[in-house]
Structure 1
Amino acid sequence: MSPDRITLKGLRARGRHGVLAAERELGQEFVVDATLFLDTAPAAAGDDLTMTVHYGELAEALAKVVEGEPVRLIETLAQRLAEVCLAHEAVCRVEVSVHKPAAPIPVPFDDVVVTIERSRA
């Protein structure tokens, strides 16, 4: 049986991540998508929020990471976000995408996205 999913899409937060000094000084908006894989049956059976992931609290925790300590690579940011998701005991696997739509690229583009998948060890 494959796990259920809780997905948070389009979380926006301002961060100062990037290789260039200007990115770290001025900051920019990042967009995060996170899909958590877990068994939601225990929560549903008892209508019990403590048996699942509170997605409102998750959104706040992920935004704090984006708004927090700057990193050079969005790969590093994605890893930190995945670790927050996996801190929830019920989560067995997570897929995190970090979008950087205002990346300093000198040609027209729509978005830059790094997507990682991590599992509980």
Structure 2
Amino acid sequence: MDSIKITGIRSYGYTGYLPEEQVLGQWFEVDLTLWLDLAVAAGSDNLEDTFDYREAIFLVKEIIKTSKFALVEKLVEVIADKILSLNKVTQVRVQLSKPGAPIPDFSGKITLDITRKVQ
């Protein structure tokens, strides 16, 4: 199956278990892999025959900016569900990272990685 990979979507949001995460916010980073058939678009060279990935980028940024969940598990699931509701995408992989997780003496990042299919 063909795919489109989009990396480095960054947005500021207010999801997190700690109260200060929902008030002060933090940066999130998202990478997407979208599975869809690219054969028709490859033959026609017409945007209408493929998936306009700008739509996915806008959607991810908007969900992060406007959502306020306690768990990033909920945020990543909502992103996957919304992407799958878009036309042509049959499967999506969402990798969502918190590069500045509020954990003492930890400078790494936390990443959730889920893959969902159209049911």
* Smaller-chain TM-score bracket: over 0.9
Unpaired runs of 5+ in structure 1? none
| RMSD between aligned residues | 1.0
Q: TM-score, normalised by structure 2?
A: 0.95
Where does residue 106 of structure 1 map in the other structure? Answer: 104
Where does residue 82 of structure 1 map in the other structure? Answer: 80
Residue 109 of structure 1: how far off its partner (Å): 3.4
Give a deviation string over 1:22-58, Cα, whole Å, max 9, x none.
Answer: 0000001100011001110111111121222111121
Residue 107 of structure 1: how far off its partner (Å): 2.5
SS of equivalent residue, structure 2 residue 4: strand
Where does residue 94 of structure 1 map in the other structure? Answer: 92
Q: Is the 8 A contact 2:100 2:107 kept in 1?
A: no
Displaced runs of 4+ in structure 1, greater than 2 A?
A: none
Counterpart amino acid of residue 12 in structure 1: R
Where does residue 47 of structure 2 map in the other structure? Answer: 49
* CA distance in 1 between partners of 2:39 and 2:82 (Å): 22
* CA distance in 2 between partners of 1:6 and 1:69 (Å): 25
Greater displacement, 106-115 / 31-40: 106-115
Counterpart amino acid of residue 97 in structure 1: Q
Task: Report percent identity of matched pairs.
Answer: 35
Where does residue 119 of structure 1 map in the other structure? Answer: 117
Q: TM-score, normalised by structure 1?
A: 0.93
Between the two proteins, the alignment pairs up a number of residues equal to: 119
